[in-house]
Homo-oligomer: A and B are copies of this chain.
């Protein structure tokens, strides 16, 4: 099973509109430093899943028929905005698995077009192709699910957006023992508990709770990139900062 980070950015990822900090200026000059909205491609055997849909040019990058389904963590615009144009396409329906959220985002439910929205529930595993997926609840301002993806002896947990874990999720992850844990870490360390997203302090606490083989921070804002540049030796040897187009399991 391979995971490709399509995007690793938060809503304030570099280059942020109107920002001229060193990180945003560098990302504007060098597109390889840019962070697109946090999302990933999962590939195992013949199965290809898109995890979130915030990429603006999703339809160009993933033409019809090039993947099996979407898994949506939650219905904030930066995680679903790529669905707006795709829904009006032609061809077979596209399954979009997501959390119970009566609102969705804008008129996606009212005018789904090609999209077939399928509500899934916490701790109820299901299969797509050869991949077994267990959704786990997260702590965010909208109903949000993380995804625990299992294929042969690889177990990847993809967990955005969240600040900490609900106790049942922490317990599940501790027993499930991910080979790779991918975690929301939007902000540098903050004195007070952040809202909706982890700062570095809470992300490291969450990783310590689960004890995965490896952890990757994603959903990164420009202020965290600035802080990481200033504190290059903060992270343990098995904790990495993801970047766009990084491939795990290659």
Give bound CA distance, A57 to B59, whole Å.
14
CA distance A56 to B83 in the complex (A): 12
B18, B63, B64, B84: the one within 8 Å of A114 (CB) = B18
Give the contacting residue for A59; candidates B17, B77, B78, B89; CB below 8 A. B17
Chain A interface category by residue count: 20 to 34
Q: Are B86 and A17 in contact (CB under 8 A)?
A: yes
Known contacts A11-B85, A107-B77; is-contact A114 B57 (Cβ 8 Å):
no
> A88 at the A/B interface (Cβ < 8 Å)?
yes
Q: How far is the CA of A90 from the CA of B65 in the complex (A)?
A: 39
Chain A window 90-127, contacts with chain B (Cβ cutoff 8 Å), 1 for yes, 0 for no:
11000000000000011100000010000000000000
Give CA–CA (A65, B17) in the complex, Å.
10
Decide yes or no whether A81 CB sits under 8 A from chain B. Answer: yes
**What B residues does A18 contact at CB under 8 A?**
63-65, 89-91, 114
Closest 7 CB pairs of A and B: A17-B89, A18-B64, A18-B91, A56-B56, A18-B89, A77-B84, A106-B106
Chain A residues in the interface with B (C-beta under 8 A): 11-12, 16-19, 56-57, 59, 63-65, 76-78, 81, 84-86, 88-91, 105-107, 114
